[in-house]
Chains A and B, each alone.
Chain A
Amino acid sequence: MTRDTPFEPDGGDGPGAFLLNADARPRWLDDVVIIGKATLVVYGLFIGLGLAAGLDFNGIVSTLQQVTLLATSFALVALALNLHWGYTGLFNIGIAGFMAVGAYTMALVTAAPDATFPGLGLPLWIGVLAGLAAAALVGFVVALPALRLRADYFAIVTLAFAEVIRLVYNSSALQEFDLLGVELGTGGGQGMSFPNLRNTVSRRLMYVDGDPTAGPSLVGRPFLAIGDALELSPSVVEGWVYTAVLVVLVAFVFVVITWIGNSPFGRVLKAIREDELAARSLGKNTDRVKIKVFMLGCAFMGLAGMVWQGRRGYVDPNLFLPIITFYIFIALIIGGSGSNTGSVVGALLFAGLLFEGPPFVQRIVDATFDLPRPPTVYDGVIALGDLDPMPLLGYAVGELPNLRFVLFGVVLIALMIYRPDGILGHRNEPASPLDLTKERPPRERDPASPEGGESDE
């Protein structure tokens, strides 16, 4: 997927051409096609890998479900980050903290009052709403001091806030505490349990009243029928139902953010990204707009924290280490900051190729070859002296789950040096409400020329 791919010609279309481009193909259809292609690439790869690893059909479907779940989770956060960074230019590297606020608030609201670390015992939907509200509120608190700082100070302050949030949840002081006479507890470093979100949501959707014995519901019937026809295990079907919920959530957030981007409010956001002083001098209250958009993005991040890291009915502070934030950044940068489609495609490629790929390769190599597995790299290097590369290779394969972090780093560096726009960054939503390319005569507007896609700079 480079710049000269078929979907290049409409790259320069502004929001004015949101519905129709020159070929009269709706832009959203293009987006769906691009995302569909990326999905096919990743799925094809994993089906191939799964076959090579000797997985049965059930195993392959289960693997695809895990990859999709991870990709949709990354996509959800990447979209929120795109709202902050791609649209408004707010370099927020405290994502993990806002996710933690969402997940922990939901956990505290929904956990049973008689659990080891008690919660309020309220229904799930109240928990989700509370999590959204709490993440937005914390976003407001962070935004107040942070928004007046330089971009690099802003980055470090958001990272510091995220670490403060994580360390507070990690602290034994909050392991069990009283709030207005109600006993609550975050469990400190041990984490806390609450009703399993994944199972609750998928069973509620699949069965009447969420009871597996009461028969399938209207939504669950097709899923169960497909599952039966393909002889899938019930847990895989349940996993797919939950994944489908996440796909719907991603689609919803995608539409909301695109809609915001094309509204007058969104144009102010892009104006802030391009030149905040100019936006301010045109009478826009940039402080207020930035606080609003920051809160909204944080709410989406809180949502992602709930449905992704909180899905197992268990949260602990280690789920919200700063590295999570950098995963999202890599995903967004691969896709191209500024483009919603890019966010989703980047999340897919990152989750599939970089994140889940290497451990899978390790499994295949382990299953097919009988490599020696020396305990340290020293033994591998010594064997290299005897012209035997196998021990070193075996050690490297054993270290693949760690080596992929080196790969993340190298990919990030290579992208910043050679392609800072990412794959779809040239589809960066322009700040202008008019399609500036339309003003030029047709012969100058050669869609195939590389300049055709440059709308951002």
Chain B
Amino acid sequence: MAFADGRSHLSKVTLEQWFGVLLLAGLGVLVVDLVRRVVIGDLRFGTLSLFLWRGLVDGLIIALAAVGLSMTYAILKFANFSQGDLVTTGAFTGWTAAYVVGGIGVAEFGSTILLNADRGTSARELDMHLFGAPLAIIIGLIVAAVATILVALAIDRVVYRRMRNAGGIPLLIASIGVALALRYVIVFFYGEQTRGVTRSSPTVDHELFFWTDSLNVHQSSLVVIGVALMIALHLLLQYTKLGKAMRAMADNRDLALITGIPTERVILMTWIIGAGLTGVAGYLIVLETETLSFNTGWFLLLLIFSAVILGGIGSIYGAIAGGLIIGLATNVSLVWIPGDLTEVAAFTLMIMILIFRPSGIFGGVETA
């Protein structure tokens, strides 16, 4: 403990920087090792590119949900633990819509409305993939966003609005309650089983990219949708009055109120944008993993938080970067460690970066 005693302000900073140097050196060693493995042929280049591609796909999903989380974090000033279950809400409502639309004339309504809770229909029967039922899947995507927004707004109305000035920790605890209630309301309707929802993705053969000659359509459309949404969000936040109002509110709510910004309306828009992105993320996860359970979003929650914290809470671009880092970390770490420890790698990375920079990589930039 003597070290804690004698630590002055100045030496603390050097300690942090020293740890940062160590962290960067460690990451550097890993990169060098990666190159070495590829060069001597331990690791085939095809495998590495597959890891990178999957990292990008996972990272974009996490980033979408993380942006939603980061926005509510910046505007409402609390860590929303029900974010994971909003992801699940988006997945269930969206795919239910897809099943209902895709099942018209093919499957019974009683089975499709509960997303096959009675095992009466199947993805095979509905031909549920992007080329088999494109209309159903697009409708599902829209419903996922809209339904998640409605659920989030209802929760805000019932719970969070009453606690606007309650402070971060009480709101956090309330959001844990919301998460529990939401998750088990979903169980009440849809049951506990993990279900296969989509068929495996069709592939397109091509000569464009050198690492693979067949492109996974589901993953590719996921990447396209994810990137498009993020660009749209960037434009919205940079070039509209709403974006400016959001940034003002993230910076100082009272000052924003005084300058005439309608704070409740900004909060409403925050929920709409954040929950919409979250619902889309939940819907797209199923497109990639092909299965869905009531725990899907909850298991993802900590990864989403890791992404937000890595980027620095409140920073939208930080959340995107954090999501990609977490996605890449969980996949590229497979080079060194077994598959059941990849999340451990991601969480450890988050914790170590927090030691280096206690407020995230882009920390302190609480601007939406």
Residue of A nearest to B173 (CB): A416
List A contacts of B162 (CB < 8 A): 417
Contact residue among B168, B173, B182, B348 (Cβ-Cβ distance under 8 Å from A164): B348
Q: Does A378 contact B166, Cβ atoms closer than 8 Å? A: no
List B contacts of A155 (CB < 8 A): 79, 169, 172
Q: Does B181 contact A410, Cβ atoms closer than 8 Å? A: yes
Q: Does B344 contact A156, Cβ atoms closer than 8 Å? A: no
Q: Does A416 contact B110, Cβ atoms closer than 8 Å? A: no
- Smallest Cβ distance from B361 to chain A, in angstroms? 13
A456–B207 Cα distance when bound, in Å, is 70
List B contacts of A377 (CB < 8 A): 114, 117, 188-189
Interface residues of A in 324-338 (CB under 8 A from B): 326, 329, 333
Q: Does A287 contact B188, Cβ atoms closer than 8 Å? A: no
Main secondary structure of the interface of A (DSSP, over half): helix
A408 within 8 A of B: yes
- Smallest Cβ distance from A268 to chain B, in angstroms? 15
B309 within 8 A of A: yes
List A contacts of B344 (CB < 8 A): 164, 167-168, 171
Interface residues of A in 392-444 (CB under 8 A from B): 396, 399, 402-403, 405-406, 408-413, 416-417, 420
List B contacts of A413 (CB < 8 A): 159, 174, 177-178, 181
Q: Does A379 contact B110, Cβ atoms closer than 8 Å? A: yes
List A contacts of B171 (CB < 8 A): 416
Interface residues of A in 175-218 (CB under 8 A from B): none
Q: Does A402 contact B184, Cβ atoms closer than 8 Å? A: yes
Interface residues of A in 236-275 (CB under 8 A from B): none
Residue of B nearest to A286 (CB): B4
Contact residue among A160, A171, A378, A406 (Cβ-Cβ distance under 8 Å from B306): A160
List B contacts of A291 (CB < 8 A): 4
A410–B158 Cα distance when bound, in Å, is 11
Contact residue among B113, B183, B352, B358 (Cβ-Cβ distance under 8 Å from A153): B358
- Smallest Cβ distance from B132 to chain A, in angstroms? 25
Q: Interface size bucket, B side?
A: 35 or more
- Smallest Cβ distance from A84 to chain B, in angstroms? 13
| Interface residue total, chain A, C-beta cutoff 8 A | 50
Instruction: With a 10 A CB-CB cut-off, give which of B338, B351, B358 has the most chain A CB atoms.
Output: B351
A412–B189 Cα distance when bound, in Å, is 22
User: Assuming the A-B contacts A164-B348, A416-B170, are A326 and B188 also in contact, with contact meaning beta carbons closer than 8 angstroms in the complex?
Assistant: no
List A contacts of B337 (CB < 8 A): 173
- Smallest Cβ distance from A396 to chain B, in angstroms? 8
Stretch at the interface among A21-29, A143-151, A226-234, A296-304: A143-151
List A contacts of B350 (CB < 8 A): 157, 160
User: Assuming the A-B contacts A160-B351, A377-B114, A416-B163, are A167 and B341 also in contact, with contact meaning beta carbons closer than 8 angstroms in the complex?
Assistant: yes
Q: Does A406 contact B180, Cβ atoms closer than 8 Å? A: yes
List A contacts of B217 (CB < 8 A): none
B355 within 8 A of A: yes
A416–B179 Cα distance when bound, in Å, is 14
Q: Does A412 contact B177, Cβ atoms closer than 8 Å? A: yes
A163–B347 Cα distance when bound, in Å, is 8
A376 within 8 A of B: yes
A378–B181 Cα distance when bound, in Å, is 20
List A contacts of B183 (CB < 8 A): 405
Interface residues of B in 107-150 (CB under 8 A from A): 110, 113-114, 117-118
Contact residue among B166, B181, B340, B351 (Cβ-Cβ distance under 8 Å from A409): B181
Instruction: With a 10 A CB-CB cut-off, give which of A91, A157, A287, A333 has the most chain B CB atoms.
Output: A157
Contact residue among A153, A167, A168, A288 (Cβ-Cβ distance under 8 Å from B354): A153
B78 within 8 A of A: yes
Q: Does A382 contact B110, Cβ atoms closer than 8 Å? A: yes
Q: Does B340 contact A285, Cβ atoms closer than 8 Å? A: no
A410–B305 Cα distance when bound, in Å, is 23
A91–B182 Cα distance when bound, in Å, is 23
Interface residues of A in 356-408 (CB under 8 A from B): 375-379, 382, 396, 399, 402-403, 405-406, 408
Q: Does A409 contact B177, Cβ atoms closer than 8 Å? A: yes
- Smallest Cβ distance from B161 to chain A, in angstroms? 10
Q: Does A406 contact B347, Cβ atoms closer than 8 Å? A: no
User: Assuming the A-B contacts A171-B338, A416-B174, are A91 and B114 also in contact, with contact meaning beta carbons closer than 8 angstroms in the complex?
Assistant: no
A173-B337, A405-B181, A416-B173 provided; 4 other pairs, C-beta below 8 A? A145-B352, A155-B169, A173-B341, A416-B170
Q: Can you identify 23 A-B contacts, CB atoms within 8 angstroms? A: A151-B168, A153-B359, A155-B169, A156-B305, A156-B306, A157-B354, A160-B350, A161-B351, A167-B340, A171-B338, A171-B340, A285-B4, A288-B4, A375-B118, A376-B118, A378-B114, A403-B184, A409-B184, A412-B177, A413-B159, A417-B162, A420-B166, A420-B170
Q: Which 9 A-B pairs have the closest CB atoms?
A: A409-B181, A412-B177, A409-B180, A405-B184, A413-B177, A416-B174, A409-B177, A160-B347, A145-B355
